[in-house]
Structure 1
Amino acid sequence: SHSLHNSHKPETIYHELRELSRYYEDILVHLRKDKVAFRAQLDVVFPGYDTLYDDLYGPVALAVIEKYPHPEMLQKKKINTVSKVIQSKTCHRQAMSDTMADKAIEYSKTIYSGCDKDDIEVLILQRFIKKLKEDMAEAERIIDEMIKLAQELPDFSIIKSIPGIGDNLAARIIAELGDMTRFKKKNELVAFAGLDPRISESGQNDGDHMHITKKGNKRLRCLLYLAVTCSIRLKRDDNSIKDFYIKKKQQSNPMCSKAAKTACASKLVRIIYSMCKTGELYQYNK
């Protein structure tokens, strides 16, 4: 491998991935707080701005609100001026940017802010935007570094071949799995993820729940659950996780969505184990 880390032994890579993964999660916690604070402040200064664009945290929405944090700053602007701001931050074409700019300008004329444009509230909103962007950029940097590291491991391309798992998820799952060779049997890995079924005392299993021990690695469990959720949303046909989910929802005592997803996560971790053991990429079998 000819990357920055070519002198690395696999155990060093696993160690670094785990540490980066912890740090990444820490940033995500900050990001969630940033978003809550930003939205609360936005509701005061520029009410309803979050309804203007599909993604409030995407480059367009952030570029416009950063430049014009108060509706009065936007009202008298020409479409072309605002459009240039959008184009400087995205690769949208002129027409698309004009439409978005026009929408924002027209909207700014219809609402009343909870403060004046020179008030401290506006300044605080700008600070929140700055912090939000910094944390988003840092998260991006860390996940890129994790992907670079994970790409040196054979398991990366294997896990990524599963429908619903992209670079980001594959790197994070590997960071939590660590070196798979330490699991001698499939059930050891299932237990490590805390996805082994718990036997209920009464022997009665209702279809509403899939009782799992919930011991084991909670982070890994969350990531597998996320992977299952992504997988189920896919429009692809060659997807055994989705097949399994549908089966669980349609069996004689159907499972609720959450229980079915948990059952899928348990299946997914078994699939991952087998694939990494044999070194084979994902193959669809009904």
Structure 2
Amino acid sequence: MVREGEMNMKHVLAFDVSMGKSTMVIYNHYNKCEYEGEITHNKSSFKALNERICEIIKRDGQAPEIVFEASGVYSRPLEQFFQAEGYTYHRVSPLEANLQTASMRRHKTDISDAHGLAKSHFRTERSTTYQEENYYKQMRALTRYYDELDSEIISLYSRLHAILQLSFPELERLFSKRSALFLNVTQLFPHPDEVLACSKTVIRNKIKGNTKKNISLKRAEEKAIELLHAAQDSYPAISKDDVRCDQIRDYAIRITDLKAKKDMLIKQMVELSKDRIEYQVLLSFPGIGEVTAVRLIGELGDLQRFQNHKQLNAYVGIDIMRYQSGNTFYKDKINKRGNNKLRKLLYYMVQSMIKLRKKSNNHIVEYYDKLKTQPQGKPHKVASIACVNKFLKVAFHLITHNITYDYNTASICS
């Protein structure tokens, strides 16, 4: 029987998550443990867990508090179960969990961590985890996939470069290494002897026929002549029959395919985002194109979960970390505890804005110039991070108020 005054008190379910399973404890209104055990992340265990939660709801007349530590992909099945069943929960970061459950004597086990989370929940004010709609989850997955492809391309370019130095190093001087033409020519002629075995006309026709983008006959012939001259003076360290020439072809093909996949992902993200206000706002900023806009959405997620732009700064990891003790002062630095992928993306976005300064009025770039030219001019990186801070403040205001970028409006709200 529930006593008077206990209706506002709730049971607490705490989980210490590991791969494929979780250690669970249940605490009652009096901060006493009623149950401890283990659940497996499968249908039968989740069904039993749901029945247990329903029993608690029936007994208390209200849902229990649910808390667990975020552990990357391992905690996702548990979180998906709570979302599917409509339960609110508290997902705690590992840093928060460590600070909130710290004690003088620390016994590190799964069961002790679960108990620590439950006990700390009675004395800690925790916000309910904001549940983003599926759009943001898909955008985050797509942009992370994009990053993986990008990393793989960089790795393949490094391997391609190493073997080309043995086979036909002149190719990297004749063509831009990031161009489709370079990758096509590398597949056709990974060794100078491959070039010398063909006439100028054959080389020209191969270049034109194997380049997807339209290339004029005149330019193809110019490149054929350049290739012949380079091949005649090249001194390869391996023969054209060496297996590493096949590697060059393979790397070039794989890079081409991965680049095409990246383009497809961007098109998919744009299609998902074209009717979203955050996409329209970000695209309205000078210096931000489709690629940057959709990738920013993927990493930023739903801005409605932040109360102000300072919380957004903390999420990015550009909030100031200050240390002073007695007469000891350390130089202020950014925290760097936030989303490092987003921080990197925002930094390069600012660099792009600076490069395109002549094409449009941009108060972010003007702020950068002001920081650089004041009597005690700021270093480039410091000024750039300050611009990231200003951009986040303006973007947060515009997106949360459904307003696209305008130079005068943005200058006022920043």
**Is TM > 0.5 for Structure 1 vs Structure 2?**
yes
Does residue 37 (structure 1) correspond to residue 153 (structure 2)? The answer is no
Residue matched to 1:181? 304
Which has the larger helix fraction? 1
Does residue 103 (structure 1) correspond to residue 215 (structure 2)? The answer is no
Once the two structures are superposed, what CA deviation does each residue of 1:5-29 show, in whole Å capped at 9, x if it has no partner?
xxxxx81211111111222211112
Report the CA distance shift for 1:85/1:240 in structure 2 as closer, same or farther (over 3 A). farther
Cα deviation for residue 273 of structure 1 reads: 0.6
Residue matched to 2:390? 267
Does residue 86 (structure 1) correspond to residue 218 (structure 2)? The answer is no
Native 8 Å contact 2:321 2:335 kept in 1: yes
Once the two structures are superposed, what CA deviation does each residue of 1:114-136 show, in whole Å capped at 9, x if it has no partner?
11111212122222222222222
- Which of 258, 272, 282 is the aligned partner of 1:159? 282
Native 8 Å contact 1:47 1:112 kept in 2: no
Secondary structure in 1 matching 2:321 = coil
Question: Which amino acid letter does the alignment assign opposite residue 102 of structure 1?
Answer: I
Cα deviation for residue 203 of structure 1 reads: 5.8
Native 8 Å contact 1:232 1:242 kept in 2: yes
Q: Which is worse superposed, 37-46 or 87-96? A: 87-96
Does residue 230 (structure 1) correspond to residue 352 (structure 2)? The answer is yes
Does residue 192 (structure 1) correspond to residue 315 (structure 2)? The answer is yes
Once the two structures are superposed, what CA deviation does each residue of 1:56-97 show, in whole Å capped at 9, x if it has no partner?
131111111211111011124333322223323121222222
Does residue 216 (structure 1) correspond to residue 361 (structure 2)? The answer is no
**Gaps in structure 2 of 5+ consecutive residues:** 1-131
Show the 5 A alignment for 1:199-210.
199-201=322-324
CA distance in 1, matches of 2:160, 2:199: 27
TM-score by length of 1: 0.89
Q: Which is worse superposed, 161-170 or 125-134? A: 125-134
TM-score by length of 2: 0.62
Once the two structures are superposed, what CA deviation does each residue of 1:130-180 show, in whole Å capped at 9, x if it has no partner?
222222222222222122212232110110111111100100000011111
Aligned CA-pair RMSD = 1.8
Cα deviation for residue 48 of structure 1 reads: 2.6
CA distance in 2, matches of 1:29, 1:142: 15
Percent identity (aligned):
26
CA distance in 1, matches of 2:276, 2:215: 36
Native 8 Å contact 2:142 2:265 kept in 1: yes
- Which of 64, 67, 74 is the aligned partner of 2:185? 64
Show the 5 A alignment for 1:138-149.
138-149=261-272
Which has the larger strand fraction? 2
User: Larger C-alpha radius of gyration, 1 or 2?
Assistant: 2
Cα deviation for residue 199 of structure 1 reads: 2.8
- Which of 136, 161, 166 is the aligned partner of 2:259? 136
Number of aligned residue pairs: 272
**Gaps in structure 1 of 5+ consecutive residues:** 1-9
Question: Which amino acid letter does the alignment assign opposite residue 135 of structure 2?
Answer: I
Native 8 Å contact 1:150 1:156 kept in 2: yes
CA distance in 1, matches of 2:181, 2:404: 38
Residue matched to 1:77? 198
Native 8 Å contact 1:73 1:117 kept in 2: yes
